[in-house]
Amino acid sequence: MSLPPDTLLTRQTVRAAYVHVPFCIHRCGYCDFTVIAGRDDLIGTYLDCLERELSFKLTEPQPVTTLFLGGGTPSYLSPEDLERLFSILQKWFPLERNGEFSIECNPDGFSEDRMQVLQRGGVNRVSLGVQSFNPTHLRTLERMHSPDDVEDVVTRLRKAGVSNCSFDLIFGVPDQTVDEWQQTLDMATRLQPQHISTYGLTFEKGTPFWTRLQRDQIAAVPEEIEREMYARAMSVLPERGYSQYELSNFSQPGFECRHNQVYWRAEPFYGIGPGAAEFRGTTRTRNHRSVTVWIERLLKGRSPVQEVDELDADLLAREAVMVGLRQVSGIPLAAFEARFGMSLQALAPDAYDRLQSNGWTEESDGMFRLTPEGRFLADTVMAEFF
Q: What is the pTM of this model?
A: 0.94
At residue 354, what is the residue type?
A: R
DSSP states along 160-219: TT---EEEEEEE--TT--HHHHHHHHHHHHHT--SEEEEEE----TTSHHHHHHHTTSS-
The residue among 16, 49, 22 whose CA lies nearest residue 269 is 16
If we measure between CA atoms, which residue out of 79, 72, 78 comes closest to residue 24? Answer: 72
Task: Output the pLDDT for position 349.
Answer: 93
The pLDDT of residue 2 is 44
Could you give the C-alpha distances from 51 to 84, 85, 225, 287, in angstroms and in order? Answer: 10, 9, 47, 15
How would you class 351 by CB atoms within 10 Å of its CB: exposed for 0-12, middle for 13-18, buried for 19 or more?
Answer: middle
**Alpha-carbon span 211 to 8, nearest angstrom:** 45
**Stretches in the chain below the pLDDT threshold 50:** 1-10
Predicted local confidence at residue 283, as pLDDT: 95
Q: What is the reported pLDDT for 1? A: 43
Predicted confidence at residue 169, as pLDDT, reads: 98
pLDDT recorded at residue 161: 85
CA distance 256 to 373: 23
Element (H, E) at 114: helix 112-121
What pLDDT sits at residue 334? 97
- Provide the pairing of β-strand 283-287 with 277-280: antiparallel
- Beta-carbon contacts of 382 under 8 Å, excluding residues fewer than 6 positions away, are 321, 322, 325
Arithmetic mean of pLDDT over the chain: 93
3-state secondary structure of 333: helix
Going from the N-terminus, what domains does the chain have, and what CATH number goes with each?
Answer: 8-264 (3.80.30.20), 314-383 (1.10.10.10)
Quick check: helix, strand or coil at residue 143?
coil
